[in-house]
Structures are given as C-alpha cells and as structure tokens.
Amino acid sequence: MNNFKSPCGNFKSPVQGKCDKKSASSAENITENIKELKEKLTGVNHQINLHKAEGCSEEELKLHIDKLHEYNEIKDVGQMILGRIANLEGVRCQDLYEKYDLDLVD
C-alpha cells in the first residue's frame, strides 16, 4: 500500500486539453495564415508596381538601402564614442549633445 500523496492532488496537465483543440484547428489556422500571406503579397506587389510607375528602380532602392545602412553604422560608432567620452567625463550623453551642439532627435 502506498501512503504517498502527491502535493498537487489530481494533477491534470493544461497542455493535454489544448493539444486536442490545436490539432483540430491547426489546418484552419494554416489555411488562414496562407490566405493572409497571399493578401499581404498582393499588397506588396501592388506597392512595387506603383513605385515602378513613378520611375523608381530596384537598383535605386538597393543603393538607397545601402546608404541607409552605412549611415546607421556610422551613427552607431558616433554613439559609442559619445558614450565612452561621457563615461570618462562622468556626465550623461545628453550633456555631451548640448556641449557639442548636437541634435538629440537625429
């Protein structure tokens, strides 16, 4: 005879009940996701066609994106330098923006 009582009592996993419901509706979820993705793809293709009609090319867009990446990398390096200077001087980065007449928004 086992006198051991589980501290949890009659434990029933909440996952078991949900699995049955998930398997029944997973096909519906997948179908709905596919439908949403197709609608999104249609919208993106429409935007691409509008931009092409305005004279924008994929090469121009790629160049613009590359320039934005370069700008962000340079800005990140500048932020790191300001952070180190602020640390060395024992001031806030915001104080350095004011000191060097930098725009906080940019």
Alpha helices in the chain (DSSP H): 14-53, 58-89, 93-99
Q: Is residue 84 in some structural domain?
A: yes
Q: Does the pLDDT at position 78 exceed 70? A: yes
pLDDT band at 23 (very low <50, low <70, confident <90, very high): low
Measured distance CA(74)–CA(67) in Å, rounded: 11
Residue 45: which domain range?
Answer: 15-56
Q: Record the tokens describing residue 40, joined without a space.
A: 């999104």
Higher pLDDT, 59 or 68: 68
Q: pTM of the entire structure?
A: 0.49
Q: Does the pLDDT at position 9 exceed 60? A: no
One domain for residues 68 and 106? yes
Domains in the chain: how many in total? Answer: 2
Measured distance CA(77)–CA(83) in Å, rounded: 10
One domain for residues 19 and 63? no
How much of the chain exceeds pLDDT 70, in percent?
A: 76
Mean pLDDT, the chain, integer: 83
